[in-house]
Structure 1
Amino acid sequence: MTIRLDLPSMRALFPKAPEAVLKDFIDKQDSILGPAGINHTRNRLKFFFANIEHEVDGFTIKNLTENINYTAARMAAVWPNRFENADAVRAKYGTKSGWQKRAFDDIYGNRMGNRPGSDDGSRFIGRGGPQITGRDGYAKVGALAKLPLEDKPEIAAKYDNQAAVSAAFWTWKKMNAKADTGDFIGCVRLWNGGTNGLADRRARMAGNEAIINRLPGSPPTSTPGKDVIDAATEKERRAIAAGGGGCVVGGAAEGVKQTGVASESSLPKFVTYPLIATGVCIVLVAAVLIIKKRKDIFKNWY
């Protein structure tokens, strides 16, 4: 059984959200949230809803779409590395109607899969619960959600697509692993590439905690499976493999010396010993992190 969502709880989490949005998450908790593993634990739900709540201010932003009608001063404040002040913005894009669209096409052009010299920058702006951004983001989330978002980006903001686009975004970014180890900052970094709005996201999660803790249900398994642990420790296991490889290379060089067999691949001591030491350190640190993450995963599996 998974953690169960109901309308009173969703309304408590999102007091001002359109009811159609809340019902979409409730109606699709088995068909969409479940397969994505989002409602398997309370910690995943806490991370999931706190970030969505921040991105769209509890589903209250107009049309669930990023507002690009910036003032010149606002644009200069958001991109200080690009513009010294508001006058610099006006000098580059003018003040005629539609200047913001030209600015977004320029600023976001040739990034996130957007094509330079096109209207991709203003077309693939933030939409939906996760505020998907960029042509690449729309393509990847659309493929996972089985929605033609690259061709019709506006449907990412439809009320009855919020469960699908939010779950697809979460899956694309592999955020279950961050929630399972309690790494909220890591989750936020995956979400928006930095820690923008971190304090607000944390505050929203703290406000939601009691509501989510009261939800009925439990994880589908009594303890986290190997797949859950493997997903959360993937980086550390790769590090162990790489560190172990360094030890093998160093050891092989020593073996050449001991057997007296000459080889062009043999390494001098001043290279071999530091290589072995580095490999051992990598393995030890990664092993400690795996133990810690396993402990965190079991703690959050409720």
Structure 2
Amino acid sequence: MPVQVTRAAWRELFPRAPQAVIDAFAAKQHVLDAAGITETRTRLAYFVANIEHECGGFTIPRLTENINYTHKRAAEIFPTRAGRTAAEVMARFGSAAGWQRKMIDVVYGGRMGNRPGTSDGSTYIGRGGPQWTGRDGYSACEKRAGVPAVAVPESVAQLDLQPEICVAFWVWKNLNPKADAGDFNGLVRIWNGGTNGLADRQHLMAGNDPVIARLSIAKTTAVAVKGLAGGPSTKTPPKEVVKVATAKERNARAGAVAVGGAGGANEAAKTGTQVPAAPLMPPAVAYTLIGVAVVAVVFLTVIIARKKAAVIRNWF
């Protein structure tokens, strides 16, 4: 059953956010419920902390990335794409009005779906709570949140639609499994391609913990979320949740078993119990494969067990 977030709790979580944002989250919990974000306090905590970091708790002007860099700051942020010093940035992009947009078109051009040689870079800058960026990101936002993001980029910053826009990003990045496994660092890497601002995100989450810990669990599941992803709730994590959280390790373990099997088949073939399908390996190679495979299987089994325990522990 989903965690119930009250209007007062939203105000505590985003103390400086515009009232329109608080009203939207208070009225649209079903949007979060449908994505499973309120299924556990851990998912909700990870969601809120990262949104809060990305947009200053919905306080950045127009919920839009500020690209009015100085030459010095541009060199600090984009050394490999804009220039390593303020002088290099100035030599490349000048200092006339609008030079920052020209620079951003180059810095963001040819990636994230932005078309090289166009103004896509400065058009599809970070917007909204999650700071959607890039033409591909805006297309994904449009598809999942139902806003005309590509044609009207400013729609991604619409205050009363922030629940849909934030949830769309979470779903697009498939972040529930990372939260279920308690992998905050891994979730941040998926969010922004690295661990930028990790310490601040962790600090914000720690500050939100007392608020989220006080929230109650719904006794009934809202009709609006029945049959949708994330609902209805269960007392323990469904098997598919554990499978998704441990998929990488289980695949690696299967590969290790196959490698060990190859070594074992090689030695069995020498005894005449099997017909060799390929030239036989030297014994040292075969036994090395078997030994490495056994160690890998044991190690991965332990990791899988730990991840499963983390999923169960975070499912509350």
Would the TM-score normalized by the shorter structure come out above 0.5? Answer: yes
Please tell me whether residue 291 in structure 1 is matched to residue 305 in structure 2.
yes
- Matched residue of 1:164: which SS? helix
Deviations 1:161-214 (A, max 9, x none): 211121121122222122112221111111111111111111111111111111
Counterpart position of 1:48: 47
- Show the 5 A alignment for 1:198-217: 198-217=198-217
In structure 2, what is the Cα distance between the partners aligned to 1:60 and 1:112?
Answer: 25
Partner of 2:85: 85
Separation in 1 of the partners of 2:129 and 2:32?
14
Distance in 2 of aligned mates of 1:13 and 1:197: 18
- Quickly say closer, same or farther: Cα 1:41–1:65, change in 2 above 3 A: same
Q: Amino acid of the residue matched to residue 140 of structure 1?
A: A
Q: Check whether the contact 1:4–1:216 (CA below 8 A) recurs between aligned residues.
A: yes
State how far apart, in whole Å, the 2-side matches of 1:8 and 1:188 are. 27
Tell me the equivalent position of 1:38. 37
**Which residue does 2:11 correspond to in 1?**
11
More deviation, 166-175/96-105: 166-175
Number of the residue aligned with 1:193: 193
Letter in 2 for 1:174: N
Corresponding residue for residue 68 of structure 2? 69
Give the whole-Å Cα distance in 1 for the aligned partners of 2:77 and 2:206.
Answer: 27
Shift of the alpha carbon at 1:265? 4.8
After superposition, where does 1:111-122 map in structure 2 within 5 Å? 111-122=111-122
CA apart distance, 1:100: 0.6
RMSD (Å), alpha carbons: 1.8
Displacement, 1:274?
2.4
Distance in 1, Cα, partners of 2:139 & 2:9: 32
> How far, CA to CA, are the matches of 2:115 and 2:294 in structure 1?
45
The 10-residue stretch of structure 1 (60-69 or 74-83) with the greater mean CA deviation from structure 2: 74-83
1:6-57 deviation digits (Å, cap 9, x = unpaired): 1111011111111221222222221x21121100111111110001001000
Q: Aligned partners of 2:50, 2:107: CA distance in 1, in Å?
A: 25
Between stretches 223-232 and 144-153, larger displacement belongs to: 144-153
Confirm or deny: 8 A CA contact 1:65 1:127 kept in the other structure: yes
Which portions of structure 1, spanning 4 or more consecutive aligned residues, are displaced by more than 4 angstroms? none
- Report the equivalent of 1:161: 161
CA distance in 2, matches of 1:64, 1:146: 18
How has the CA–CA distance of structure 1 residues 262 and 223 changed in structure 2, closer, same or farther, with 3 Å as cutoff?
closer
Question: Are 1:33 and 1:167, in contact at CA under 8 Å, matched by a contact in 2?
Answer: yes
Counterparts of 1:88 and 1:171, CA distance in 2: 40
**AA paired with 1:206?**
A
Q: CA deviation at 1:262?
A: 4.5
Deviation larger for 20-29 or 89-98 = 20-29
Select between 40-49 and 246-255 the one with higher mean Cα deviation: 246-255
After TM superposition, give the deviation of residue 143 of structure 1 in Å. Answer: 2.3
Aligned equivalent of 2:266: 253
How many residue pairs end up in the alignment?
301
| Aligned residue number for residue 223 of structure 1 | 236
| Deviations 1:275-301, CA, capped at 9 Å, x for gaps | 222322222221101111111122211
**Post-superposition shift, 1:268?**
3.0
Letter in 1 for 2:184: F
Displacement after TM superposition at 1:267 (Å)? 2.9
Tell me if the contact between 2:266 and 2:276 (Cα under 8 Å) persists in the aligned partners.
no
The question of whether the paired residues in 2 share the 8 Å contact of 1:256 and 1:263 is answered with no
Work out the percentage of aligned pairs sharing the same amino acid. Answer: 49
Change in CA separation of 1:266 and 1:150 when aligned onto 2, cut-off 3 Å: farther
Gap change, CA 1:265 and 1:141, over 3 Å in 2: farther
Report 1:102-113 matches (<5 A): 102-113=102-113
Q: Secondary structure at the match of 1:224?
A: coil
Segment of structure 1 superposing worse, 285-294 or 245-254 = 245-254
Deviations 1:52-75 (A, max 9, x none): 001000100011110111111110
Contact 1:75 1:86 (C-alpha < 8 Å) held by counterparts: yes
1:301 matches 2:315:
yes
Aligned equivalents of 2:282 and 2:153: distance in 1?
58
8 Å Cα contact 2:125-2:133 kept in structure 1: yes
Change in Cα spacing, 1:277 to 1:137, as seen in structure 2 (3 Å) is: farther
Q: Is the Cα–Cα contact under 8 Å of residues 5 and 29 in structure 1 kept in the other structure? A: yes
- Whether contact under 8 Å (2:264, 2:290) holds in the other structure is yes
Q: Report the TM-score, using the length of structure 1 for normalisation.
A: 0.94
